[in-house]
Structure 1
């Protein structure tokens, strides 16, 4: 028996131009649009997903941290961080949320799987000092150092003990996806490449009679995916759009519940097993 549980770890607000980028604008134009945009979307959830599997407990992404509110935590020299607003109370961090479910994050999570290394997906890493931390090698390469700090990552805030297991897409083709990487021996939890939001982004598929597609930021919402709307963050709009089409094609072939990291409708779809159609 496999169970997937959505865990909300606070709220994020972004500009409307970040949620949906203009189709006729490339990477640079979309960044300019975000800075010029005076309009903000409603607060969106920052979601993690707990997978309970016969081989152990797996957490997909770790959300963000209350420390975003501490002056100096976010680098003031990077104006990008002023275009996003993160609000997380201490008790909303993923560690507290897991404890409320009777799960000790310091010892009861077998592995944390990161879809990518942006700060709102890695902010809760401190809660998992004894877990395997698995992340995509290609995305890790662009998330460290100055490049990472300039593009939405906070490697200087990662735990000093962090030495992630870097996953390559070295497994067989899976549906429309050119490769995969199995996390469990039975292949029920598997990574697939979903680049576009950032280089090397991956999604996690939990396979069963109904699949659960934990999409990270491959799309911000099911609505955006169905409309073929990519975000304003992407440096490669064409690749981002191709990823949306592959996710949709996968869901056309197999019943699939889509679960992005910032979709307010995602937890309700999960509870209802409402598949993408």
Structure 2
């Protein structure tokens, strides 16, 4: 279903008087960064309401590469948003009439300190999203949808520029910012990268789904990249992002029609920075679908592709809102054992 259809449904729903009370975002607490030496048990769900960084070091061709998971605030959505309720048409309506929200989930930004330069995957949220008038410029229906289905928790200190600075990563070290897709909790930090190359898959940029371009910086003109077919196992489409060819943008459609993920093929394991392919790893393994997805058939196919790749290579699966993703990153817990079919 395209965005126009979704908005038309929302308009009819609003005209019928389906209004949900929008509850206030809870106060934010602050936590300390976590690194390799102080990593919590993998089953521990940390408090994502403060600044939180997980760091691990992997090897690539004998060189050390640091990977950071940076929590840029939190997001909660209606339960029907995260988990499908009803058929293909009804699931969209249920997102808007659902009065129950999920727990607050992290909004991860991933940073790879690659020898060719730092690569940032997505940009997270910004604290202005908490302002009551933030969505005024996007139009009445889009404003209604976002106020009624999504809640954020973020402070200025949690935004990606401040957190990169705390890690000692200067803007001139950043090779590129790579976008998995163009939803606001992934694009609202773009404002902090005015002089950095921003990479988006061409079809995602030209044919987005439920994006809010009114919130983009006026200077936002990303470098559009085209996939090559059959260039990496399992994934039908991919394009190399490094000269070494060890970091790739791979097609993982479903959440949006042209959603991408970033694949880093390190020596010890491969790491898939998976955007919103699923909300957490268990959702992928159970074959459970999010209600908000653009195309459920594409999502199922993407699930199969990811699991097929995980049978061929040790794969650490890292969605953007998975509370346990950073623990899996630090502890190198793979999705499946290679050679064993799911």
Per the normalisation by structure 2, the TM-score is 0.76
Matched ranges for 1:179-198 at <5 A: 179-198=237-256
Deviation of residue 139 (structure 1)?
1.1
Deviation of residue 71 (structure 1)?
2.5
Deviation of residue 72 (structure 1)?
2.0
Which of 213, 238, 241 is the matching residue for 1:155?
A: 213
Describe the SS at the equivalent of 1:180: strand
Describe the SS at the equivalent of 1:251: helix
Maintained 8 Å contact 1:68/1:86:
yes
Describe the SS at the equivalent of 2:108: strand
Describe the SS at the equivalent of 1:67: helix
Q: Deviations over 1:92-117 (max 9, x none)?
A: 10011111111133x33120000001
C-alpha distance in 2 between matches for 1:235 and 1:92: 29
Deviation of residue 204 (structure 1)?
0.4
C-alpha distance in 2 between matches for 1:63 and 1:220: 15
C-alpha distance in 2 between matches for 1:225 and 1:3: 26
Maintained 8 Å contact 1:136/1:168:
yes
Maintained 8 Å contact 2:229/2:236:
no
Per the alignment, do residues 71 and 39 of structure 1 end up closer, same or farther by CA in structure 2, a change over 3 Å counting? closer
- Name the Cα RMSD after superposition: 1.3
Per the normalisation by structure 1, the TM-score is 0.93
The aligned residue for residue 130 of structure 1 is: 195
Deviation of residue 3 (structure 1)?
2.4
The aligned residue for residue 25 of structure 1 is: 87
C-alpha distance in 2 between matches for 1:57 and 1:163: 20
Unpaired stretches in structure 1, ≥5 consecutive residues:
none
C-alpha distance in 2 between matches for 1:61 and 1:96: 15
The aligned residue for residue 251 of structure 1 is: 310
Are 2:104 and 1:38 equivalent residues in the alignment? no
C-alpha distance in 2 between matches for 1:159 and 1:92: 19
Rg larger for: 2
